[in-house]
Amino acid sequence: MAGKKKKGLVIVESPAKAKKIGGFLGKDYEVRASMGHIRDLPEKAADIPAEVKKQGWSTLGVNVRENFAPLYIVPSGKKALVKELKGLLKDSEELILATDEDREGESIGWHLMELLEPKVPVKRMVFSEITKDAILDALDHTRQLDMNLVRAQETRRIVDRLYGYTLSPLLWKKIRPRLSAGRVQSVAVRVLVQRELERLAFRSGTYWDLKADLATAKSEKFAAELTALGGKRIASGKDFDEQTGRIKAGSDVLLLDEKTAKDLQTRLQSTGWAVTAIEHRQQVRRPPPPFTTSTLQQEANRKLGMSARETMQTAQRLYEDGLITYMRTDSVTLSQEAISATRKRIGDSYGDSFLSPQVRQYSTKTKNAQEAHEAIRPAGKEMKTADEQGLGGRESSLYDMIWKRTMACQMADAQLRFTTAVITAGDAEFRATGRQIEFAGYFRAYVEGHDDPESALEDQESSLPLMQERDKLDCQKVDAISHETKPPARYTEATLVRKMEAEGIGRPSTYASIIGTIQDRGYVRKASNQLIPTFTALAVNKLLENHFSNLVDYQFTAQMEQSLDDISNGQVEFVPYLSNFFLGDDGLENQVKTREEGIDPRSACTLELDGLTSAVRVGKFGPYLEKKEGEATVTASLPDDISPADLNDEMATKLLETKKQGPQALGMHPDEGVPVLVLIGPFGPYVQLGEVTDENPKPKRVSIPRGTAVESVDLDMALKLLTLPRTLGEHPVNGKPVLAGIGRFGPYVQNEKTYKSLQKTDDVLTVGFDRALELLSQARVKTGPTPIRELGKHPEDEEPVNVYEGRYGQYVKHGDVNATIPKDKTAESITLEEAIALLKEREASGKPSKKKKVAKKKAAPKAAKKKSPKKKPKSGEAE
């Protein structure tokens, strides 16, 4: 007798969601995970079915001549899952598609319906939080799939495929293999490149001003700054032209030079000081709205130092654990349930006086805001804190920030009072400003971060002493201070996200992957939270701007985004839009065909930068300098830590001169009897023990510490460097050696897997054992990378199988074997069984783990004694 049918088969994306929702729905429902996308366009040639491989369009994965029909394939790893879901569907009364409430989720739901071919009713179930009330309510209020959303997502996917697969091969031919172009990616790179070129063109200006340390009659001290002299305003940084380094034309200001400033400093020491005016100004600060995807990424970067990718991964875990609402949203609105819960919690935690008198409702400013219908907030009705939720680590920090911002949005305004004292000394006018918080309001819960690290936070007070007009002041000291104007700041992840959103470039839900991609592809490197474009980025951007300017134009890209939104609203037909974008005289396909021949590879790879007498070329092995000297051409590698805007002619000339001279012999090594050389490579200058020969293909090399001039390195210093890494002693805890050395990222001390960079005041050649132990005690102990998800134990040896985030994306690891997670899966969606299959496939590919390699080497001598005939390996075997 057949078993009783389930009320419904509920399909979500990830096992974590399936487990949580299954617990709410009970045994009447079967809840399963699709593991992300169940099918997609082919990623590689091997994925393309044999019957269409000979078709010209097959490499694109889109039949552009037949209404842009996409070629969808089910990856081999998903076929068993599809079969299993079909089997479960036969025993269910209905199919409930409960994928995420954004366009991506709508698309996944549609693909599932297309593949499963249900004979039972199909319902679409959406929710913004994974709580019991929300899930049960969503089950009672299902709807049909929104085909406009599905079509919009499909069109977006096709546009991105056509863009990348048409332009990337052009970059391979003209600049360098393995480069990529992308609809949003290339515009994001352009934003960063334009800022770098602005920095390159920047000319600094110098100005002076005075700062006075003053005291009232009651000996209360404060500081004031010179603002005017002889009735004329003193020039400040904002008055300079960034292109010339001079005062802007037409500016009626007084520019102080060093002599004038110091003469004035001397004169004012013996002048009487008095208060001439006191100005008061009240200000009300209203709280910011609750978080959207974009603002969450920005604030997490500013306050927590988290990358956009790390922020979204952490938020995903919080969402799937039922702790926050859906994290891909443009909306700043809160549900009535959330507002009531928030206001109750404010009263309980801060008191009714901190509650906003009226309910605050925020309106979304983003054009055509979509994705989820509510802002990011703590899930449920209780608004528990991070401690009450039992959270720790990054999850706790991010949740706490979300909780505080949610509280703040329903709290009272902060009230501030600004006081400005105008002070005169002879013909000089000084000003001192103080700030007092008269009522903290929402500051009690949350203060928004700043992109400028020198900006004071809003809740910081700086009061002035009580003063009145005509009060005499005592001048205790006057300093003449020199200032130099600064170039435009490079983008951080926070400011890049803000810029892209303001320009309408892409969607906030994709920013994390875009920022990760441009770093992974070598277009950008990150240093001190700055996103610095590489010379490769400059070359690619130059080619695209010169030959495909519309494709990287901000307005054109924003209009594309709007058109894709219009498709989601049913206002635009997708086939005519795609045809206009790709086909026709001005379509992408024809643009590439007609312009390709006119792009000279040498010119595309060459950068003529402002202020350089040599050219920068982007080669296969990295950027290098090139300069014509008569009939000869001199080249020199550019170290990878040199930023385009920081490269000047003096630096370039020195690199070229050093390369022309070739390896400089400092002398002979007293023990080895070979020359000690100084050379410059892609990672900067280094010393080398002996020449490269057949007998000595890899001579010892040690980097010269950054900040040390190459010409200052003599034989004695070089010999000391070649002793690195040097052993300082044995660690008192583990008995392992403590070492001091120089690596790619500078001088360090090390004990086993624990590393700590030396401070600027430390010298790697003289740092002592005690100082090394002190530094190591401050280091984070590295026990290997931290898994972002634990899948379970391997059935063969009970060792853990975990998911990690690596330089080139996410991967699964078991012992010493790593396997990349395919693009159609995510850390959240992959199962233990799928991971084991990937690991087995990796081992079978002929690339053994480290342990196996060691074992092989040890076994080799014994194996050599056996006189077994050589056997030709079969296809696929390791030779």
Please tell me the predicted confidence (pLDDT) of residue 696: 86
Cα separation, 474 vs 224, in Å, equals 12
pLDDT at 797: 82
pLDDT tens profile 50-77: 999 989 899 999 999 999 999 999 988 8
Catalytic residue among 326, 350, 624, 755: 326
64/520 Cα distance (integer angstroms): 30
What was the pLDDT predicted at 448?
Answer: 79
Residue in 702, 699, 696, 797 with CA at minimum distance from that of residue 744? 702
Helices (H), 708-831: 715-721, 769-778
CATH class of the structural domain 8-154: alpha beta
Residue pair 514/166 in contact (Cβ under 8 Å)? The answer is: no
CATH architecture of structural domain 293-412: Orthogonal Bundle (1.10)
In residues, how long is the chain? 879
Q: How many CB atoms lie within 10 A of CB 758?
A: 20
Those residues with Cβ within 8 angstroms of residue 767's Cβ, 6 or more apart along the chain or in another chain: 728, 740, 749, 758
**Closest C-alpha among 18, 34, 293, 11 to residue 130:** 18
Residue ranges matching CATH 1.10.460.10 in the chain: 155-202+489-604
Please give the class, per CATH, of domain 155-202+489-604: mainly alpha
DSSP 244-288: TSSBPTT---B---HHHHHHHHHHHTTS-EEEEEEEEEEEEEPPP
State the CATH architecture for 206-284+415-435+460-484.
Distorted Sandwich (2.70)
Q: How far apart are CA 68 and CA 87, in angstroms?
A: 32
CATH 1.10.290.10, the chain: domain bounds? 293-412
What confidence tens digit (pLDDT) does each residue in 755-780 have? 898 988 898 999 999 999 999 988 76
Q: Which residues of the chain have pLDDT under 70?
A: 1-3, 365-372, 450-459, 780-786, 807-809, 823-824, 845-879
**What's the CA gap between 120 and 4, in Å, rounded?**
16
Peptide bond preceding 725 in cis form (omega within 30 of 0): yes
Tokens encoding 364: 């979304």
Residue 46: DSSP 8-state? G
User: Quick one: which of 362, 363, 360, 364 has its CA closest to 340?
Assistant: 360
Let me know if 808 is a catalytic residue: no
* Residue 126, H or E segment: none
How far is 79 from 592, CA to CA, in rounded Å? 37
